[in-house]
Amino acid sequence: MIMTKRYSLLSSLILAYTIVCAQYNTMPIPDTLSGTNFNLTIQDTFKQILRTGNQTITGGINANFWGPTVFVNKGDTIHMNVRNRLNDSTTLHWHGMHLPAVMDGGPHQVIPPGTLWQPYWKVTNNAGTYWFHPHLHEMTEEQITKGIGGLLIVRDDVEQALPLPRTYGIDDIPLILTDRSFTGTDFKVAPYGDSMLTNGTLRAQYSIPAQVVRFRLLNAAIERSYNLGFSDSRTFYVIASDGGLLSAPVPLTRYLLHAGERIEILVNCTGQSGTNVNLKAYNSTLSQQTPGGDVFPNGPFANALARIDFNILHLNIGAQVSNAIVAIPTALTTVNTIPSANANITRYLTISDTAVAGIPGATFVLNHRFFNMNFNDYSVPLNNTEIWQITNSGNFGHPFHIHDVEFNILSVGGAAPTAAQAGWKDVVYIPSQSTVKFIAVFDDYADATHPFMYHCHISLHEDEGMMGQFLVTNNLSGIKENTQKVTPFIVYPNPSRDELFIQLKDAETEVYYVTISNINGKAVMMLPQPDLRRGIDISSLSAGIYFLNLMDRATKSITTQKFIKQ
């Protein structure tokens, strides 16, 4: 009898404990990939996101929501094997990376279903937290809503030498912030969600050790900004912005993170084992002009999280682990910001509210025109140092993002950037009725054909056309005329089983793009500027007849050779 009683007491204690914990779901940490060669398969999939009912239709990269965290080293040349296994076309953009436009994965680099796209580049970015996501024009919101994306973490010697937490998932924790609404058990494609999703998990919790913990926060939401803070209002230290380390940790109790932005923070939990704290979004303080502060009683923008405070992550602080970092460093790195006197030009951009016939309510435009894939708004001479001045005359704020470069903010509404924003950035929030200036150097990569994008990082606005594009051009190289010259080359061995090589017959030819198409003319592999010293790995193709189409850089003429895959 006594045994039974004890047993039932124990089991009711376990039950009570389970009920308390059941409020929370333990958050997963994305898997990691490292090295210089990465296989990323974008796929339609399912995930159990709601506690009961059907799985949610999701998208992921090698996973059933989101994708792996890709670790790369500054200085390495990395090769990406991006396979599109969706039923739709997509693109994959390396947000924040400095790389050739043709590798960038913007709306021009469409990957058809079933096709393998193989961009590669030398990593020159500083250590920091970057990311990748689809960028197919007018489909970005939908494909990001599915959950397609991933973090790209750059390591370098400067960061490596600092006493910072960097044990992934233990004291260095990626937090991918977004929110979703549901129709039944499926995601609704909507600007705002009713529920917070942290690393793809509702009501997320995680255990951290009682020491200094680093969080890498990405705002991956469609529209919402998160006013980050802890439930006990503890101080946290911002150590990095979009493009890497700040000069010194910046102590704060709140940080407003907008769509597309990243920060890395340190939180000192030394001596707090056995306690808990919540990371929250203090969005009740946001204005009607801020994404997430706009309250609508109904319609497509109405949502349960509008202008309220809500939980992002419940943190259980446990025992310290060995080799713990227990102090916040006092200094980080030297940020060599670009002197404004170096600027060759100031470009003036505008953001304004607009009305579109047939679309209810206002939408937003850059420079008074909607995005046009065939129109280049700017031509930036290679190596130019430029100030971009963006004036938002509208009634809503927008996170402005530019590809190719990391920039320094010069001013926001006339004031110098805050300390946490004084480093390298690739997204800057342009408040309503305000002007922001930043400065950037457009070096290394010129391309007379492929543009880079700039846009609002609210994917709804981007899809609606709040985007523009620019070429970086190298006038010194001149433009060769299109002489319709043929580009003779051979492919060998032919037939081939695993590898195919290209031998050019004309020293003038520069390979700009190679596509391999099957007998039906469908592209199966896309190889921007392939390195001809490396063979083309065709081992994944099924046996049959294929065509290799080679585009010459100067003339853009395409010539084709047939080959047989054994």
Q: Does 536 sit near Cu ion (CB under 5 A)?
A: no
Q: Which of 74, 95, 214, 455 binds Cu ion (CB under 5 A)?
A: 95
With beta carbons less than 8 A apart as the criterion, state whether 151 and 174 touch: yes
**CB within 8 A of 326, min separation 6: which ones?**
211, 212, 268, 270, 320
> Could you say which of 74, 95, 216, 224 contacts ligand C2O (CB under 6 A)?
95
455 touches, from ligand C2O, Cu ion, none (C-beta below 5 to 8 Å by class):
ligand C2O
Closer residue to ligand C2O, CB minimum distance, 109 or 205: 109
Considering only CA atoms, which of 547, 550, 515, 511 is closest in space to residue 529? 511
Alpha helices, DSSP H, located in 23-172: 140-146, 157-160
Residue 565 interaction partner, one of Cu ion, ligand C2O, none, beta carbon < 5-8 Å per kind: none
- From CA 18, how far away is CA 13, in angstroms rounded? 8
* 252: helix, strand or coil: strand
Residues in 377-406 that interact with Cu ion by CB under 5 A: 398, 403
Which of the residues 154 through 173 are near ligand C2O (CB under 6 A)?
A: none
**Chain residues 296-355 in contact with ligand C2O, contact rule CB under 6 A:** none
Task: Based on the shown chain and the rule CB under 5 A, indicate whether residue 280 belongs to the binding site for Cu ion.
Answer: no
Strands 309-318 and 204-209: parallel
Helix, strand, coil distribution of the chain in percent, nearest 5: 10, 45, 45
d(CA 474, CA 447): 7
Q: Judged by CB under 6 A, does residue 133 bind ligand C2O?
A: yes
Kindly give, in sequence order, each residue whose CB lies less than 8 Å from that of residue 12, ignoring residues fewer than 6 positions away: none
Residue 456 contact partner, candidates Cu ion, ligand C2O, none, CB within 5 to 8 A by sort of partner: Cu ion
393-412: contacts with ligand C2O (CB under 6 A): 401, 403
Q: Which residue is nearest to ligand C2O (CB)?
A: 95
Q: Please choose, out of 14-22, 247-255, 357-365, 451-459, the segment that lies near ligand C2O by the rule CB under 6 A.
A: 451-459
Residue carrying the six token digits 């808990």:
276
Residue 455 is a binding residue for ligand C2O (CB under 6 A): yes
For position 259 contacting ligand C2O by CB under 6 A, the verdict is: no
Q: Using CB distances below 5 to 8 A depending on partner kind, what does residue 461 bind out of ligand C2O, Cu ion, none?
A: Cu ion
Closest to Cu ion by CB, 222 or 502: 222
Total residue length of the chain: 566
133 binds, among ligand C2O, Cu ion, none (CB under 5 to 8 A by kind): ligand C2O
Which helix (H) or strand (E) segment holds residue 116: the answer is strand 116-117
> At its nearest, how many Å lie between ligand C2O and the CB of residue 107?
8
One of 456, 491, 516, 536 touching Cu ion (CB under 5 A): 456
For residues 133 and 425, which CB has a smaller minimum distance to ligand C2O in the complex?
133
Q: List the single partner that 437 binds among Cu ion, ligand C2O, none, CB under 5 to 8 Å by kind.
A: none
Question: How near is the Cβ of 403 to ligand C2O at its closest, in Å?
Answer: 6
Chain-centre distance for alpha carbon 494: 40
Stretch near ligand C2O under the rule CB under 6 A, chosen from 8-16, 296-304, 450-458, 545-553 = 450-458
Question: CB neighbours (10 Å) of residue 141?
Answer: 20
C-alpha to C-alpha distance for 355 and 365, rounded to whole angstroms: 10
- CA distances 442 to 156, 382, 452, Å, are 22, 6, 11
Give the binding-site size for Cu ion (rule: CB under 5 A): 6
Beta-ladder partners of 202: 197
Instruction: Give 39's contacts (C-beta < 8 A, 6+ positions apart).
Output: 33, 62, 81, 83
Q: DSSP label at 428?
A: E
Q: Does 135 bind ligand C2O (CB under 6 A)?
A: yes
Shortest distance in whole angstroms from residue 132 CB to ligand C2O = 8
Looking from the CA of 361 toward its CB, the CA atoms found within 13 Å total: 10
**Residue 246 Cβ, how far from ligand C2O at the closest point, in Å?**
21
**Helix or strand holding residue 502 (H, E):** strand 499-504
- Contact pick of 27, 153, 453, 460 for ligand C2O (by CB under 6 A): 453
Segment 402-441, which members bind Cu ion (CB under 5 A)?
403
Terminal CA-to-CA distance of the chain, rounded, Å?
Answer: 75
- Sole binder of ligand C2O in the list 128, 174, 260, 451 (CB under 6 A): 260
Q: Residue 260: which of Cu ion, ligand C2O, none does it interact with, CB under 5 to 8 A by kind?
A: ligand C2O
> Which residue in 47, 74, 93, 314 binds ligand C2O (CB under 6 A)?
93
Which of residues 281 and 458 has its CB atom nearest to Cu ion in the complex? Answer: 458
CB atoms within 10 A of CB 391: 16
Q: What is the smallest separation between the CB atom of 278 and Cu ion, expressed in angstroms?
A: 29
The interface region with ligand C2O, picked from 80-88, 247-255, 289-297, 449-457 by CB under 6 A, is 449-457
Decide whether 59 or 209 has the Cβ nearer to ligand C2O: 59
Task: Check residue 133 for interaction with Cu ion (CB under 5 A).
Answer: no
Instruction: Choose between 150 and 260: whose C-beta lies nearer to ligand C2O.
Output: 260
Query: Of ligand C2O, Cu ion, none, which one does residue 108 interact with (CB within 5 to 8 Å by kind)?
Result: none
Structure tokens that stand for 112 in this block: 């058809």
CB closer to ligand C2O, 135 vs 565: 135
By CB neighbour count within 10 A (0-12 exposed, 13-18 middle, 19+ buried), where does 558 fall?
A: middle
Q: According to the binding rule CB under 5 A, does residue 461 interact with Cu ion?
A: yes
**Phi, psi of 491, deg, nearest 5:** -115, 140
| CB distance 53 to 92 below 8 Å | no
Q: Find the part of the chain contacting ligand C2O (CB under 6 A) among 120-128, 377-385, 435-443, 452-460.
A: 452-460
Neighbours of 491 (CB within 10 A): 21
Report d(CA 423, CA 128) in Å as an integer: 12
Nearer to ligand C2O, 229 or 243 (CB): 243
CB within 8 Å of 126: residues ≥ 6 apart: 74, 154, 156, 158, 159, 243, 244, 245, 406, 424
* Chain positions contacting Cu ion, by CB under 5 A: 95, 398, 403, 456, 458, 461
* Chain positions contacting ligand C2O, by CB under 6 A: 93, 95, 133, 135, 260, 401, 403, 453, 455, 457
